[in-house]
């Protein structure tokens, strides 16, 4: 068996100077797999995504996270990204004054350089970028605007997936990428994500709703509550949650909602 | 006896700067502007030098340092054209080198003010009237003493085919009094770029007291850009005074890069209905730079619009001050005025003072003002890092973005933008060290 893409063992974590959010998470994700993480509000879903990406507002208390066998927790956020971890933000950040194409090229070159490859100049990179645009059905004009500035909710999420397409991560974490999307935008975003999946990479899809999982079909579904994984199953678990809610799971685990 | 002594306190002695002014006043130029010069002298004598302790607008300006230096008028001297690099491929060109002005071309609309008023005595009368109104004493030094003020006069319905480009250059310690009087008649349009630059290696301290006087008739449009990329040591004080008639439009962009002492006081009065003023500014400070953007914007009549946005990126132990007031007079109903000062602190010792004021005497107006002082946005920083960009690079990119977003305004000509972006990059590198 080859090295898993991601292996989390008994992870406990808290907000810096704040409460504990994760109370012992363990999971293993192999190449080619898509894992969905579902759960009620406040269960720790987004915290897990942020911890994987190295967000400075959270701090690991104990446990281990291996990415391709390497200790992920000792890397800074930018090092993780260059190593191949990608977080699609729930709320992509607007950066006035920073050109979208320049930003994408900087990110791309940072990774290329880290992996010992040649950096691309603006002209050569434009070609790379143009080839990626159809994946998220994005018009070229968005490249000349400031990063996410004045973008609609759907455009921001498409821009996230465009970044994913450019960076070709080994592990992509989609943090509630479906929030704020209408049905057409959801179809485009999910379609883009599906095109980017291959047997070498893996994905975590954090979501509230079954709806996204109609488009991005998971191999494994985890239900998170109170910072722990309550149940792990296949895609039918998501359908169960859709019809029955979370309460029955919480009761089964001796917890209250 | 002791009572008599207090009548002659020893501190009445003039500072070297004041003594120099009085000397210069003894010998005012006897040109066609003589009456204007004398009016300015008389007004200056009433106001005296600014008093930082008593006058809020001067509180943070180093007037003491200024008053310790000597004051003298620039001596006539030839101009070395080799020093001038022009931004516009085609322009009406004026240059000022260590305080003396030189006209590089033949532009009918540009001539010495002393010549322009001979055929236009009403203009002289209006300028004299303005002198009586001003409360900014240092600007009066310029009016009284500028050796050769220049005039740009665009007649009714005309558009300047080429922009007016002015370069004010210093390569050694000197005093200079650049003065530009811009008069746009009905529906006239003009583009003016004034660039102040200097040689880093110039020795000693330079004093620049500049004046840009703008008078815009109905429907006229002016783009006025002031780029100060100073580098040399000394004091750079500018006054821009503009009055807009109905439907007139003014776009003013003022920048200060790498200036030891820089103050730009902008007085804009919207005196005719539907007049519109957009005032923007960008300052980048490093080391011990001190930059002051002082604005007085008056809505005197109904239905006018104005917008001010001033940004500063402040490094080292530099100080940036924004002090802006919007006056909405009693009759100025339906005023729409916006004002924003944003300050980015790049180091622990950098300082920013932001004082946005509103004084509203009308009851049906829309006014907003705001000020921010802070460091780089953590969320933006993390977003960039999460894409593989190092913290150092991400900070540089965000700082650059903070400044560049000020330049994306379309009214800046592409030539100017290109030239300016390079300077911004350099200034930022200095500010983030």
DSSP calls for B8-57: S-GGGSPPHHHHHHHHHHTT---STTHHHHHHHHHHHHHH-S--TTT-GG
For chain A, say whether B382 makes contact (Cβ under 8 Å).
yes
Read off the pLDDT band of B1 (50, 70, 90). very low
pLDDT > 90: percent of chain B: 69
- φ/ψ of residue B9, rounded to 5: -65, 145
Query: Has residue B78 got a pLDDT over 80?
Result: no
Residue A70: CATH number of its domain: 3.40.50.300
Say which of A53, A97, A167 has its CB closest to residue B405: A97
Tell me whether residue A153 is in a domain.
Answer: yes
Whether A93 and B379 lie within 8 Å, measured CB to CB: yes
Determine whether B309 is exposed, middle or buried from the number of CB atoms within 10 Å of its CB (0-12, 13-18, 19+).
middle
Tell me the chain B residues in contact with residue A114 when contact means C-beta distances shorter than 8 Å.
388
Condensed to tens digits (0 to 9), the pLDDT of residues B137-181 reads 999 999 999 999 999 999 999 999 899 999 998 887 888 999 999
User: Which residues of chain A neighbour B397 with C-beta distances below 8 Å?
Assistant: 98, 103, 106
Give the pLDDT of residue B335: 97
User: Is residue B365 predicted with pLDDT exceeding 90?
Assistant: yes
With an 8 Å Cβ cutoff, are B390 and A111 in contact?
no
Chain B residues within an 8 Å CB radius of A54? 385-386
Nearest CA of chain B to the CA of A217: how many Å?
26
Task: Enumerate the β-bridge partners of residue B93.
Answer: B165
Contact present, B326 and B306 (Cβ < 8 Å) = yes
Assess whether pLDDT exceeds 80 at residue B4.
Answer: no
- The pLDDT, as a whole number, for residue B48 is 92
Given this model, what pLDDT does residue B9 score? 47
Residue burial B70-88, b: 16+ Cβ < 10 Å; e: rest: ebebbeeeebeeeebebbb
Residue A257 placed within a domain = no
Pairing verdict, β B366-374 and B319-328: unpaired
Distance from CA of B376 to the nearest CA of A (A): 11
What's the mean pLDDT in B343-367? Answer: 94
Residue A96 to residue B401, Cβ atoms within 8 A: yes
Tokens of A154: 């759907």
Q: How large a percentage of chain A has pLDDT more than 70?
A: 99
pLDDT of residue B102: 84
Question: What does the pLDDT look like over B383-432, one tens digit per residue?
Answer: 999 999 999 999 989 998 898 888 876 578 888 888 888 888 878 887 77
Q: Which residue has the higher pLDDT, B51 or B383?
A: B383
**Is residue A63 in a domain?**
yes
Structure-model confidence comparison of residues A97 and B298, the more confident one: B298
DSSP 8-class letter at A182: -
pLDDT band for A130, please (50, 70, 90 cuts): very high
Say if residue B99's pLDDT is above 70.
yes
How many domains would you assign to chain A? Answer: 1
Q: Do B387 and A110 touch (CB under 8 A)?
A: yes
- Give the mean pLDDT of chain A: 93
The per-residue pLDDT for B2 is 44
Count of A–B CB contacts within 8 Å? 79
Tokens found for residue A136: 């998220």
- From A53, A54, A106, residue closest to B389, measured CB to CB: A106
DSSP states of B45-61: HHH-S--TTT-GGGTTS
**Which residues in chain A are closer than 8 Å to B383, comparing Cβ atoms?**
89, 92-93, 95
**Which residues in chain B are contacts of A93 at CB distance < 8 A?**
379-380, 382-383
Average pLDDT over residues B318-330: 96
pLDDT at A234 over 50: yes
pLDDT surpassing 70 at residue B237: yes
Is the model's pLDDT at B378 over the cut of 60?
A: yes
Question: In which band, very low, low, confident or very high, does the pLDDT at A201 lie, cut at 50, 70 and 90?
Answer: very high
Residue B203's pLDDT band (cuts 50, 70, 90): low
Residues in chain A within 8 Å Cβ distance of B388:
78, 81-82, 107, 110-111, 114, 167
Please give the residue range of the domain that contains residue A128.
Answer: 6-252
Whether chain A has a CB inside 8 Å of the CB on B394: the answer is yes
pLDDT at B6 over 60: no
- Average pLDDT in the A188-205 region? 95
Is B401 in contact with A97 (Cβ distance < 8 A)?
Answer: yes
CA distances from B376 to A166, B79, B149, B205, B336 (A): 26, 44, 43, 34, 30
pLDDT given for residue B404 in this prediction: 85
B398 touches chain A (CB under 8 A): yes
Query: No. of H helices and E strands in chain A?
Result: 9, 12
Structure tokens at A40: 């009620």
pLDDT at B80: 55
Asked if B282 and B314 count as a contact pair (C-beta separation under 8 A), the reply is no
Mean local confidence (pLDDT), A36-50 = 93
| Nearest chain A residue to B390, by CA | A78
In this structure, is residue A1 part of a structural domain?
no
pLDDT value of position B55: 85
- pLDDT score recorded for residue B8: 46
Buried/exposed A202-228: b ≥16 CB within 10 Å, e otherwise: bbbbbbeebebbebbebebbbbbbbbb
Distance (Å, rounded) from C-alpha A162 to C-alpha A95? 16
**Of A206-220, B66-80, B107-121, minimum mean pLDDT range:** B66-80
The CA R_g of chain A, rounded to the nearest whole Å, is: 18
């Amino acid at each position: 068996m080859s090295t898993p893409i991601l292996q989390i063992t008994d992870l406990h974590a808290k907000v810096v100077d704040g409460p504990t959010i994760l109370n012992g998470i363990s999971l293993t994700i192999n190449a080619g797999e898509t894992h969905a993480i579902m759960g009620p509000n406040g269960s720790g879903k987004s915290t897990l995504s942020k911890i994987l990406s190295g967000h400075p507002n959270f701090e690991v208390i104990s446990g281990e996270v291996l990415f391709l066998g390497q200790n992920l927790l000792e890397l800074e956020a930018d090092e993780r990204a260059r190593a191949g971890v990608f977080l699609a933000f729930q709320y992509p950040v607007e950066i006035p004054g920073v050109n979208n194409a320049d930003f994408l090229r900087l990110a791309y070159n940072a990774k290329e350089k880290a992996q010992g490859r040649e950096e691309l100049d603006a002209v050569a990179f434009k070609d790379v970028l143009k080839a990626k645009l159809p994946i998220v059905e994005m018009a070229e004009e968005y490249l000349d605007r400031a990063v996410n500035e004045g973008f609609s909710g759907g455009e921001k999420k498409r821009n996230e997936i465009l970044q994913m397409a450019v960076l070709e991560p080994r592990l992509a974490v989609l943090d509630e990428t479906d929030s704020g999307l209408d049905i057409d935008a959801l179809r485009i975003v999910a379609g883009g994500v599906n095109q980017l999946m291959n047997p070498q990479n893996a994905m975590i899809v954090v979501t509230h709703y079954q709806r996204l999982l109609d488009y991005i079909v998971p191999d494994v579904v985890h239900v998170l509550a109170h910072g722990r994984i309550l149940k792990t199953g296949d895609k039918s678990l998501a359908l169960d949650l859709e019809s029955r809610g979370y309460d029955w799971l919480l009761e089964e685990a001796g917890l209250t909602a | 006896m002791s009572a008599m002594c207090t009548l002659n306190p020893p501190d009445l002695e003039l500072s070297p700067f004041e003594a120099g002014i009085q000397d210069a006043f003894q010998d005012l130029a006897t040109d066609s502007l003589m009456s204007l010069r004398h009016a300015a002298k008389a007004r200056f004598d009433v106001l005296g030098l600014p008093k930082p302790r008593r006058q809020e607008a001067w509180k943070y300006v180093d007037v003491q340092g200024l008053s310790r230096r000597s004051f003298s008028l620039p001596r006539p001297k030839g101009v070395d054209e080799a020093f001038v690099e022009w931004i516009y491929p085609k322009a009406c060109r004026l240059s000022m080198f260590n305080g003396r002005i030189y006209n590089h071309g033949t532009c009918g609309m540009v001539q010495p003010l002393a010549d322009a008023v001979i055929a236009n005595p009403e203009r002289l009368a209006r300028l004299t009237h303005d002198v009586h109104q001003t409360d900014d004493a240092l600007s009066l030094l310029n009016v009284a003493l500028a050796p050769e003020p220049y005039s740009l006069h665009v007649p009714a319905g005309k558009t300047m085919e080429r922009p007016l480009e002015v370069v004010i250059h210093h390569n050694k310690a000197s005093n200079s009094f650049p003065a530009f009087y811009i008069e746009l008649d009905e529906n006239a349009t003009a583009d003016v770029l004034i660039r102040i630059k200097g040689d880093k290696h110039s020795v000693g301290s330079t004093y620049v007291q500049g004046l840009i006087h703008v008078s815009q008739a109905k429907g006229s449009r002016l783009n006025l850009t002031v780029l100060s990329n100073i580098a040399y040591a000394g004091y750079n004080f500018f006054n821009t005074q503009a009055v807009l008639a109905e439907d007139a439009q003014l776009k003013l962009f003022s920048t200060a890069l790498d200036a030891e002492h820089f103050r730009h006081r902008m007085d804009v009065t919207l005196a005719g209905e539907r007049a519109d003023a957009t005032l923007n500014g960008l300052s980048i400070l490093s080391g011990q730079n001190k930059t002051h953007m002082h604005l007085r914007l008056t809505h005197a009549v109904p239905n006018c619009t104005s917008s001010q946005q001033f940004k500063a990126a402040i490094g080292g132990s530099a100080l940036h001050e924004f002090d802006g007031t919007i006056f909405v007079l009693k009759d100025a109903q339906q005023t729409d005025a916006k004002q924003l000062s944003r300050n980015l602190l790049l180091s622990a010792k950098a300082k920013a003072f932001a004082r946005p004021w509103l004084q509203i005497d009308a009851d049906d107006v829309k006014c907003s003002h705001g000020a921010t002082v802070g460091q780089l946005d953590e969320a933006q920083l993390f977003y960039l890092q999460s894409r593989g960009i190092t913290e150092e690079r991400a900070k540089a990119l965000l700082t650059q973005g903070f400044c560049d977003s000020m330049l994306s305004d379309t009214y800046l000509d592409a030539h100017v933008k290109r030239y300016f972006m390079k300077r911004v990059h350099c200034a930022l590198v200095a500010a983030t060290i």
